[in-house]
Structure 1
Amino acid sequence: MHTHTQHTPLVKNNKNNWRVWWQLTRPHTLTAGFVPVLVGTALALNDDASFHIPVFICMMIATLFIQMATNMFNEYYDFKRGLDNENSIGIGGAIVREGVSPKTVLNIALSLYGLSVLLGIYICVVSSWWLALIGLICMAVGYLYTGGPLPIAYTPFGELFAGLFMGVFVILISFFIQAGYVSSNAVLVSIPVALLVGAINLSNNIRDLDGDKENGRKTLAILCGRKNAVIVLGSMMGVSYLWVIILIASGLASPWLLIVFFSVPKAVKAIKGFIGKTQPLQMMPAMKATAQTNTIFGFLLSIGLFISYFV
């Protein structure tokens, strides 16, 4: 059994450094939290829903807390299973590199979940208690992504779960708490965002492919192989843009949504950044560009929806 007693943190003085704690939240992934809330709210306004600012703020904070907690569970369980060490590439590894106590990381994650529940109770009071069930399912998925006997992160379904729960579900909840119902249009518009949230996940798995394979994971990137995984990543991005064109051509969305195409250069940079690369460190810029594609696409989509509401 692998133990962690031999690990000597390389940086011991950073325990109280705010940057360590900020990195622990994995800030580049947090866009997967706030972009869907923004899109869902903008969609609700387009359906003539009244805008409830306190509910919007609570939803935004709760979603970000759940995303941060999920990242911290990831950090904790990667350490417990011996996947992180001092040489781990990327933003993870605060426990082994910075001397942060594993228990502290777990306690903070659980505390963030607790705060999310309190915010969720307020959201339920002003909308519907059915959301409590959906919220608990989302939180369970966040925990089971790396926790539990068979972590979702070890299977080929990580991208699907990330896209479905952090894309579709969050958009629809954000829509519902403003409008009081869910429209088929909201479901259709949530698809490209879900694909790009899943793409963040896939880009992470492409970077970690060799290490994950050694540790017995069966991620989508491993099953496809590196070259094909990059093709899948490009396809996910391509379908996101194509989907918007189809929505507009079908008359289901405003032509203002075409402004999402300003994010195409970032998507191209992400794909190019992965082609021919095999070292994790070489792929970090491409991974960052993938997350930025989700952010910029989501912001532009929201702006397009807001403009179509006011015009």
Structure 2
Amino acid sequence: MSSIQNQNIKASLNEREGFQVWWRLLRPHTLTAAFVPVFVGTMLAAIEQSFDFWLFAAMLLASILIQAATNMFNEYYDYVRGLDNENSVGIGGTIVRDGIRPQMVLLLALSFFAAAGLLGVYICASSSWWVAAVGLVSMLFGYLYTGGPFPIAYTPLGELTAGFFMGTIIIAISYYIQTMTLTADVLIVSVPVAIFVGCILLANNIRDRENDAENGRKTLAILFGHKGSIRFLTALFAIAYLWTAVLMIIGLLPWWSLVTLISLGKARKAIQGFIGKKEPLEMMPAMKATAQTNTLYGFLLGLSLLIQLYFPL
């Protein structure tokens, strides 16, 4: 690809030089998948009158570091395996378009993992060392998502894995380190958040479906096809909102959680953004709307729990 073509793609994606290159490497719109479950899990604990700010801050930073490192591993191994090139319209591109050395990306990923590990020591020392075992398994799966001989991202299990570890597991840990207990109710409440996290990955795979198929991936988006994937994404959104409604009816969530319905507008925008689109660049707004749905829903859910703490219904 010529430098002119490369610049045209960067302009279309609104990619800038300097600090923005390193910011894009983190894939910031995915980092809400780390913030939301920590916030929700901590607010669930706060309702039980258990809240330690420094544990919350450490857990939040560790989760963000692990998510960012996972994104870097994704960028590195997609490049190594030839999935990413200068023509790729992705949320990374720091290697193929910005010229950052692959070894630097890998080193940063490992450094972020190490920093998260140090925070994990503090978290475990303040709560329980059993958290270390769960944290190490989560970090391992973060690496294996695109690393190792059989990357999870190349299979139909990517969305399930991401939702489980970045949704349910993080909520469970965030709740446990505050209360030193864990109930089935917390796991049940985590389901909508896990679904929305999985939806972010599904949206990414819908955009990359044709390129992924050419490179041997077997994602759900490839198995379902474009229209089938949109229907599946719609079904996941519907299940998440219906699940939330049921949780309110049975009393596991307060009626304040009705405020999460505000995020429906973003979910609708995401679905409409994929319909009739063929080119990856055309689907970027739909991907953004999917991530925003997770962010808005999760923030409003956590906020509703906080309101319940002070104004119980």
Instruction: Please give the range of the TM-score, normalised by the shorter of the 2 chains.
Output: over 0.9
Structure 1 CA distance for aligned equivalents of residues 126 and 97 of structure 2: 44
Structure 1 CA distance for aligned equivalents of residues 20 and 174 of structure 2: 30
- Kept in 2, the 8 Å contact 1:8–1:96? The answer is no
- Kept in 2, the 8 Å contact 1:230–1:274? The answer is yes
Structure 1 CA distance for aligned equivalents of residues 16 and 222 of structure 2: 35
1:33-89 CA-partner distances (Å, limit 9, x unpaired): 00100000000111222x111111000000000000000000000110111111110
Deviation (angstroms), 1:255: 0.4
Structure 1 equivalent of residue 233 of structure 2: 233
Structure 2 equivalent of residue 95 of structure 1: 95
1:234-253 CA-partner distances (Å, limit 9, x unpaired): 11111111011101111222
The answer on 1:205 being equivalent to 2:194 is: no
Aligned residue type for 1:156: P
1:97-131 CA-partner distances (Å, limit 9, x unpaired): 11100000000000000000000000000101111
Match of 2:96, SS?
A: helix
Aligned residue type for 1:78: D
Match of 1:63, SS?
A: helix
Structure 1 CA distance for aligned equivalents of residues 2 and 41 of structure 2: 44
- Kept in 2, the 8 Å contact 1:33–1:63? The answer is yes
Structure 2 equivalent of residue 262 of structure 1: 262
Structure 2 equivalent of residue 292 of structure 1: 292
- Kept in 2, the 8 Å contact 1:152–1:158? The answer is yes
Aligned residue type for 1:89: V
Aligned residue type for 2:43: A
The answer on 1:242 being equivalent to 2:258 is: no
Aligned residue type for 2:42: T
Which aligned pairs between 1:116-127 and structure 2 lie closer than 5 A?
A: 116-127=116-127
- Kept in 2, the 8 Å contact 1:7–1:96? The answer is no
Deviation (angstroms), 1:170: 0.3
Which aligned pairs between 1:113-262 and structure 2 lie closer than 5 A?
A: 113-262=113-262
Structure 1 equivalent of residue 11 of structure 2: none
Aligned residue type for 1:79: Y
Match of 1:94, SS?
A: coil
Aligned residue type for 1:75: E
Deviation (angstroms), 1:16: 8.1
1:237-284 CA-partner distances (Å, limit 9, x unpaired): 111110111011112221011100011000000001011111100100
Aligned residue type for 1:42: M
- Kept in 2, the 8 Å contact 1:63–1:116? The answer is yes
Aligned residue type for 1:39: V
TM-score computed with the length of structure 1 as normaliser: 0.95
- Kept in 1, the 8 Å contact 2:24–2:91? The answer is yes
Which aligned pairs between 1:45-124 and structure 2 lie closer than 5 A?
A: 45-49=46-50, 51-124=51-124
The answer on 1:34 being equivalent to 2:32 is: no
- Kept in 1, the 8 Å contact 2:189–2:252? The answer is no
> In the superposition, relative to structure 1, how do residues 277 and 131 fare at CA in structure 2: closer, same or farther (>3 Å)?
same
- Kept in 1, the 8 Å contact 2:31–2:68? The answer is yes
Deviation (angstroms), 1:90: 2.1
Structure 2 equivalent of residue 22 of structure 1: 23
Aligned residue type for 2:86: E
**What residue ranges of structure 2 are gaps of 5+ in the alignment?**
8-14
Match of 1:96, SS?
A: coil
TM-score computed with the length of structure 2 as normaliser: 0.94
Aligned residue type for 1:268: R
Deviation (angstroms), 1:7: 10
> In the superposition, relative to structure 1, how do residues 16 and 270 fare at CA in structure 2: closer, same or farther (>3 Å)?
closer
Q: How many residues align?
A: 303
Structure 2 CA distance for aligned equivalents of residues 252 and 59 of structure 1: 24
**What residue ranges of structure 1 are gaps of 5+ in the alignment?**
1-5
Structure 2 CA distance for aligned equivalents of residues 185 and 292 of structure 1: 26
